[in-house]
Structure formats: C-alpha cells, structure tokens
Amino acid sequence: MQRVELRIPSIPIFERVVRASAAEVGSAAGFSPEQVEDLKLAVSEAVNNAIDHGNRGDVAKLVAVTFEIDGEKLEIRVSDQGGGIERIDVSRRVVDDAALDAGYLRGFGMYLISALVDDYEVDSSQQGTVLTLRLYRKDRQQ
C-alpha cells in the first residue's frame, strides 16, 4: 500500500494544494483522466466542507487528507477537528428558485461527492468528522 498524507490549515486557498495532490495521486494510481477529474472535484468538495462546516473556518484547526493506494482502489480520508455532525443529507439534487432568490447556493457538496465516487462513509464524533471516499479500479471492480 502507498500512502500520501497532507495537513492544511482551514484556509480555503489551501484546498488547491489538496486538489493538485489528488490529481497527481489519481494519475499515479492509474485512473483515467475522467476519473481523475471526478476525484479532484470530490476531494475539493470534501475539503471545503471540512474547512467550512467542520472547522468553521478556524485557522488554528487543521484538515488532514490521506490518500491510500492499494491493488484495487484509491481511498481518501478527509478529517476535520470540528464538533461533529448528526447526519448528512445527500438527497439535495437541484437548485430551487427559492434558494437562488435567497442567494443560497450551498448544500450540494455531499450529493455531488456521492455521485462522483464509488462509495463513501462518514464517521463523526465530538472530536471531528472523517469522510472516507473510495474509487475502485474499473478493471478490478466486482
């Protein structure tokens, strides 16, 4: 197994470092260019959620991102140091007029993530939330 670990402050500009790393790791793991683009977007959304919702923009709190490559998959763990969450709603799929009129364009991140990766899981406690994303090699997926 190969592992890459990053820790960034809860400052949105550093999400770009993680996104660039996701592209390199995805390419090194042998994923197609289309899969790498999906990976970059999913990881970007997960990191932004960790910064905004988990750590609530507290620059003293870190977001940890771990990429692990094995023979069948790439697994990415995004961890924050926030107070945890009760549940995640992935059902929000469309932008409605009321949300647009109110200037509310947030809340689609988890749905987007769920659509871009093969599977994911959430583990949350008062010490923080860990979002684990998985992309399986298509030639080995069962």
CA distance 50 to 61: 10
Q: Rounded mean pLDDT of 58-79? A: 96
Residues making up the chain, counted from first to last: 142
pLDDT-based confidence at 11, cuts 50/70/90?
A: very high
Among residues 95, 111, 91, the alpha carbon closest in space to that of 103 is found at 95
Write the CB contacts of 132 (distance below 8 Å, at least 6 apart in sequence).
75, 76, 77, 120, 121, 122, 123
Strand partners, 130: 79, 123
- Classify the phi-psi angles of 84: left when phi > 0, otherwise alpha if psi is within -120 to 50, otherwise beta: left
pLDDT digits (tens, 9 = 90+) for 27-63: 999 999 999 999 999 999 999 999 999 999 999 999 9
Q: How many CB atoms lie within 10 A of CB 83?
A: 14
The predicted model scores a pTM of 0.85
